Structure 1
Amino acid sequence: MDNYYMKPLTLMLLLMIAPLVAGLYGAMHDQISYTVSPEFFLKFRFPQVFGADMSNWTKPGNERIGAAIIGFQNSWKVGVLLGIILALAGFMHKDQKDMFKHTLQAYFVTMIIAFFSGLTGLLTGINSTHHISSFPEGISDPVSFKAVETMHNFSYMGGIAGMLIGVLWHLYKKRKKENPMM
C-alpha cells in the first residue's frame, strides 16, 4: 500500500488502541482503589454509576468486577481524548513505523505518570486527616475513603500531565532521530 495512506491508517489503529488501553488501566486502577476502600465503591461509586440497579455488583464476590467495570467506563473516554492528542502528535514523525512506536511509548509514559500521580494522591490522602467532612452515610473508614478519593483526583491530573509529557516525548524522539548526537 502507498505510504501516503499508511500514516492515516496508523492513526486509526492508534485511535482504537488508546481507549482500550485506558479502559484496562482504569479497571486495574480501580482494583487498587477497591483494595484500599471498598466503601468508596459500595456506598459512593456503585450508586453513582449503576443507580438503583446495583444488586449484581454488591453480591459477595462480584464487587471487584463492578469496580473494574466502573474503572473501564470512566477511563476509556479519557483514552479517546488522550489518544487523539498523542496520535495526532505522532504525525510529526517521518514514517508510520516511528509514528506507531513513539505514540505507543507516549501512551505508556502517560499511564506511568498517571499511576504514580495516583499513588502520590493515595499517600497524600492516607496521611491527611483534614478536610474529611461530607461523605455518604455509614462510612466506617473515612481516612481510606478520602485516600481513594484523593487518589482518583491525582490520577486524572497525572493523566493530563502525562499527556503533555507524551507530546514532549514525540518532540524529543523526532529531534533525536534528526540529530543522533543529541
Structure 2
Amino acid sequence: MNKFITLLLILIIAPILGGFYGMIHDQITYSVSNEYYTKFKFIQFGIDSWGIAQNIGTDMNPEIQLDNPRLGAAIVGFLATWWVGMIIGLFLGFLGLIHKNGKVMFIVTIKAFCLTIAIALITGIVGLGFGKLFINDNLADWNLPENVLDVNHFIMVGSMHNFSYLGGLIGLVFAMIYSVKQKKKFT
C-alpha cells in the first residue's frame, strides 16, 4: 500500500475513531450525571435549536429535554471529540511516514491511535475519581448552573471530561514514542 494513500486513510479514520470515543465516553458520563448534559452540554452545543429538544427550564436557568437524551449525549460526544481525533491522526499519520511501507505504517499508526484512546479513557476515569475525592470539597472556582441538583456528580463528570482531554495529549506522546520504537523493530 502506498504511504500517501495510507496517510489519507488514517486522516479519514482518525476523526471517526475520535468521534466514536466521544460517543462512548459521553454515554458513561451521562450515566454518572445526566444534569451535566441537560443543564450544560446540550446548551453548549445548541441541541435545543436542532428541533430535537426543548428548553423546559428558564432563560436564566435552561434545562434541555430530549425524547432520547442518550442520542443527544452521543451527538455531543461525537462533536466534542472528532476534531481531537483529527489532530491526533495528523501527528500520528505524518509520523507514520517513517515506516518502511504503507502496510506497516497503517498497522502501527492504528495501534498507536488505540493506545492514545486507552490512555485517554484511563486518565478520564482517574479524573472521575479526582472529582469525587478532591474537587467536590473545593467548589469556589466552579461556575455551575444554579439549577443543578446533584452538584457532586456534575463536578465528577466535568473533571472526567477535562482529564480525558489531558489523557489524549499524554496518550499522543506515548503513541508517538510507540510508533518510533516500532520503526526500530521493523528495520
Determine if the TM-score, normalized by the shorter chain, exceeds 0.5. yes
SS of the aligned residue for 2:145 comes to coil
User: Of the candidates 92, 97, 100, which is equivalent to residue 94 of structure 1?
Assistant: 100
Provide the rounded CA distance (Å) in 2 between the counterparts of 1:52 and 1:114. 29
Structure 1 residue ranges (4+ consecutive) displaced by more than 6 angstroms after TM superposition: none
CA change 1:87–1:46 in 2 (3 A) is: same
What's 1:29 paired with? 25
What's 2:124 paired with? 118
What amino acid maps onto 2:137 in structure 1?
H
Q: CA deviation at 1:32?
A: 0.6
What's 1:169 paired with? 178
Provide the rounded CA distance (Å) in 2 between the counterparts of 1:35 and 1:55. 24
> TM-score, normalised to structure 1's length?
0.90
Provide the rounded CA distance (Å) in 1 between the counterparts of 2:129 and 2:103. 39
CA change 1:50–1:10 in 2 (3 A) is: same
Provide the rounded CA distance (Å) in 1 between the counterparts of 2:6 and 2:48. 42
**1:52-63 mapped onto 2 (5 Å cutoff):** 52-53=48-49, 56-57=52-53, 58-59=64-65, 61-63=67-69
- Asked if the contact 1:46–1:54 (Cα under 8 Å) also holds between the matched residues in 2, the reply is no
What amino acid maps onto 2:102 in structure 1?
Q
User: Of the candidates 2, 7, 17, which is equivalent to residue 11 of structure 1?
Assistant: 7
What's 1:132 paired with? 139
More helix by percentage: 1
Provide the rounded CA distance (Å) in 2 between the counterparts of 1:131 and 1:172. 42
What's 2:168 paired with? 159
What amino acid maps onto 2:119 in structure 1?
I
Gaps of 5+ in 1: none
Q: CA deviation at 1:60?
A: 5.5
Q: How many residues align?
A: 174
Q: CA deviation at 1:48?
A: 1.1
Deviations 1:89-137 (A, max 9, x none): 1001001110000000011000000000000000111122222243101
1:66 paired to 2:72? yes
> Share of identical aligned residues, percent?
39
Deviations 1:140-162 (A, max 9, x none): 11110000000000000000111
What's 1:41 paired with? 37
